[in-house]
Structure 1
Amino acid sequence: MAEARFSQDDFMCPVCLDLLKDPVTIPCGHSFCMGCITDSWDQQDQMRVYSCPQCRRIFNPTPDLAKNIMLAKVVDKLKKPPGHSYAGPGEVQCDVCAGRKYKAVKSCLVCLESYCQTHFDHHEDFHSCKRHKVTETTGQLHEKICCQHDKLLELFCKTDQQFICVLCLKYEHKNHDTTSAAVHRTEKQNQLKETQRRFQQRIQQREKDLQQLREAVKSHKRSAQTAVEESERIFTELIRSIEKMRSKVTQRIRDQEKDAASRAEEQLERLEQEISDLRRRDAELEQLSQTQDHIHLLQSFQCLSTPPESTEVPNILFSSLFSFDSMRESVRQLRDKLKDFWKKELRNISDRGPTTTSYNIPISSLWIQTQLINGFICPTGTE
């Protein structure tokens, strides 16, 4: 069965006379560019009559337009002939193409040029009488030509460890140990395989190291998170303990204040009563001293001369009113001890460095509570 052949003329838009762009097919069977048929029908909006630009068939209302996917693929292939694609980054470009260059498919070792499929066909036709030596696409063709004799480098001189051409072998490298590039490549191939084997072993080892390092990082992060959570718990417990101890100390101070104030109030009332009695007795004596009645003075003096019962204020009552200095000093000492303790422990944590695999912060809430109880709750040594 004969193969069907198409040309670009078979896929021209009847409106713009160019290859179809985003082709759409309307109900009458004709195909147009999406933009062309849309513009044509926009111009017919006032007449409310929409027709095919090619066969004049009328549509009312306008049919929905959708891109013809199959036709678009065919047109795209016509735009890019087989074996032709633009050269991308790192690919060898055709040396003959003007403007944007196609990807080269062959390189000529005589012309020292690389060609796309079209230009390679032209090259082969032009040199059909005497074929040039061509090779698979390769870049840097000038490096494969002897700079002294302008010949292809086909041999390798083992004596001088360099590639040479046939004229080099005849003159400069005469009687040297030489071999063909193909044979030398075979010798190097074994070395290449050994080098590749070492590289693969090194890759495997590095992948193993990479996996171990990743696991170590994950473990490190988990350990750090555990340390943070544990330290938060301990600090919360510590703060709660300090708050509790502070409340107890405050209550102890208030209790002592209340007790001392209560006893002082009793003594104040007695002293005030005694002062009142003494003043009253002093006034009676003053009045008695003014009387002219000798008998009355003598009779009353014996009774008034005896002073009322004296109220004694115990010394301990005075000392209890000034006993909070030792309490304050105990609190200060505890604060200083805690500061010194934290500075020392934080230095120890820092000195361990980031390579530690666990973060067991040396904070014992039980030890802290014991210190608080021994040095904070009972600053005077009594309960």
Structure 2
Amino acid sequence: MAEASISEAEDQFSCPVCLDLLKDPVTIISCGHSYCMSCVTHHWNQQDHNAVYSCPMCKRTFTPRPALYKNVVFAKMVEKLKMTKVKITLNYAGPGDVECDVCTGRKYKAVKSCLQCLESYCQIHFERHEAFRTGKRHKITDATGRLQGMICSKHDKQLEIYCRTDQRCICYLCTMDEHRNHDTVTAVAERTEKQKSLEERQRKVQQIMQETEKRIQELKDAVKTHKHSAQTAVEDSERIFTELIHYIEKSRSEVTQMIRDEEKAKVSRAEKVLEELERDISDLRRREAELEQLSHTDNHILFLQGFKSLPSPSTSSDFSGITDCSFSFDDVGKSVSQLKEKLEGLCKEEVEKLTDRAKQQVMPLSEHLSPFDEKSLLSLSTLNQQHPVRSKSISRALRELQKYKETP
């Protein structure tokens, strides 16, 4: 809100020629327009050859050259406007800021320091400092809290000379005293030389920074690649072991089914033999009863007639069916145990190889694997009937599994 008001006021008190705030405002009495003294004077100086003078604003002409009158009211208003504008942009000094040495009470932040007055000024007091210097201007620098460090403690003079012999800044009186006959140059000249060395150091630091940043980026890229490679390896391993597990599950199911089928066939055969034997034993018991009854017959004729009609008993029974029905799955269990041991040994061997190689180098797994390792992983990934098996170790295990599946 205040900035908008100041902007409007600046428009009202601006010079129509330079479009800046009026400096030494003067007014042409005849038309009432106001200008900077220097602006309207320069304008009329260019019209001296015609001896006809005009107002830059309304173009009204005058002969002879009219007198200019200082506009005291405008001068005060412009000064007040400048002060108001400066105050709005002022900031109070905070921790670490250089304070204005002239401000009383709460001090504003200093913007400039005078090396001759040995004081630091806020914007308001700096403008006043400059306004009062009608003679030789003082040496001004950006606000610094080390003004005393720029003054010779012995002669109370400004440090302007550099002694290369003692490598320290001195004043001009020091060159006539303790630094007489020393290698001395102006501070400006030494600054120029040191600036070159500083720039060279800056270039080296920048070069080192660039190389370091390059290495940092390379390391970040390597880490990113390593993480991606590791994730890919984990996913591939999960997929491969899942396929292996599925293959083993499938084989387990097939072996279980084979055992059940064999069990069913053997039991069915045994049950048939059992039925035959039970019929035989029934016939034998019936014959035994007939023989027992015949043995107790008192009539000799009936006994002889009954004995004659008895069939002759078999000298031996055929027990081949009973022998064929005997069975055992002990060999199947042994084969499964052997397969388990071989698979565990193979997996342990391959995992140890991968672990040893991973410890030898820190690099992406895809670059770290030797052809043999890749062959081993591929063999794991192809443990199903639709893909060729490449690993010799896995092939041996699969042959044992096939042998186990074919065991009766």
Cα distance in 2 between the residues matched to 1:266 and 1:380: 27
Higher Rg? 2
Contact 1:106 1:136 in 2 (8 A): yes
State the Cα distance separating 1:247 from its structure 2 match: 2.0
Structure 2 matches for 1:210-221, cutoff 5 A? 210-221=216-227
The CA deviation string for residues 8-54 of structure 1, in whole angstroms up to 9 with x for no partner, is xxxxxxxxxxxxxxxxxxxxxxxxxxxxxxxxxxxxxxxxxxxxxxx
> Alpha carbons of 1:157 and 1:377: their partners in 2 closer, same or farther (altered >3 Å)?
same
What is the match of residue 58 of structure 1? none
State the Cα distance separating 1:160 from its structure 2 match: 2.3
> Alpha carbons of 1:380 and 1:222: their partners in 2 closer, same or farther (altered >3 Å)?
closer
Cα distance in 2 between the residues matched to 1:210 and 1:136: 38
Please tell me whether residue 348 in structure 1 is matched to residue 353 in structure 2. Answer: yes
Contact 2:99 2:107 in 1 (8 A): yes
Contact 1:223 1:358 in 2 (8 A): yes
Cα distance in 2 between the residues matched to 1:287 and 1:100: 144
Give the one of 360, 375, 382 matched to 2:400. 375
> Alpha carbons of 1:120 and 1:287: their partners in 2 closer, same or farther (altered >3 Å)?
same
Structure 2 matches for 1:20-39, cutoff 5 A? none
Give the one of 250, 262, 282 matched to 2:288. 282
What is the match of residue 205 of structure 2? 199
Please tell me whether residue 327 in structure 1 is matched to residue 332 in structure 2. Answer: yes
> Alpha carbons of 1:92 and 1:250: their partners in 2 closer, same or farther (altered >3 Å)?
farther
Cα distance in 2 between the residues matched to 1:376 and 1:100: 94
The Cα RMSD (Å) is: 3.9
Cα distance in 2 between the residues matched to 1:337 and 1:230: 23
What amino acid is the match of 2:282? S
> Alpha carbons of 1:94 and 1:377: their partners in 2 closer, same or farther (altered >3 Å)?
farther
TM-score by length of 2: 0.62
> Secondary structure of 1:140's partner?
coil
State the Cα distance separating 1:124 from its structure 2 match: 4.8
What is the match of residue 64 of structure 2? none
What is the match of residue 259 of structure 2? 253
The CA deviation string for residues 248-275 of structure 1, in whole angstroms up to 9 with x for no partner, is 1122111111121121112211222222
Q: Number of matched residues?
A: 311
> Alpha carbons of 1:101 and 1:265: their partners in 2 closer, same or farther (altered >3 Å)?
farther
Cα distance in 2 between the residues matched to 1:154 and 1:88: 31
**What is the percent sequence identity of the aligned residues?**
51
> Alpha carbons of 1:202 and 1:264: their partners in 2 closer, same or farther (altered >3 Å)?
same
What is the match of residue 4 of structure 1? 12
Cα distance in 1 between the residues matched to 2:279 and 2:343: 51
State the Cα distance separating 1:106 from its structure 2 match: 0.4
State the Cα distance separating 1:153 from its structure 2 match: 3.0
Contact 2:230 2:365 in 1 (8 A): yes
Contact 2:273 2:322 in 1 (8 A): no
State the Cα distance separating 1:117 from its structure 2 match: 0.4
Structure 2 matches for 1:153-232, cutoff 5 A? 153-232=159-238
What is the match of residue 364 of structure 2? 357
Structure 2 matches for 1:36-185, cutoff 5 A? 81=87, 84-85=90-91, 92-94=98-100, 97=103, 102-110=108-116, 112-124=118-130, 133-147=139-153, 150-185=156-191
State the Cα distance separating 1:183 from its structure 2 match: 1.3
State the Cα distance separating 1:164 from its structure 2 match: 2.9
What amino acid is the match of 1:234? I
What is the match of residue 310 of structure 1? 317
State the Cα distance separating 1:127 from its structure 2 match: 7.6
TM-score by length of 1: 0.66
Structure 2: gaps of 5 or more residues: 1-9, 15-82, 383-388
Structure 1: gaps of 5 or more residues: 7-76
Cα distance in 2 between the residues matched to 1:237 and 1:99: 84
State the Cα distance separating 1:382 from its structure 2 match: 4.9
Of the structure 1 ranges 85-94 and 352-361, higher mean CA displacement relative to structure 2 is found in 85-94
Cα distance in 2 between the residues matched to 1:308 and 1:99: 141
> Secondary structure of 2:404's partner?
coil
> Secondary structure of 2:90's partner?
coil
What amino acid is the match of 1:337? K
Cα distance in 2 between the residues matched to 1:275 and 1:110: 141
> Alpha carbons of 1:271 and 1:228: their partners in 2 closer, same or farther (altered >3 Å)?
same
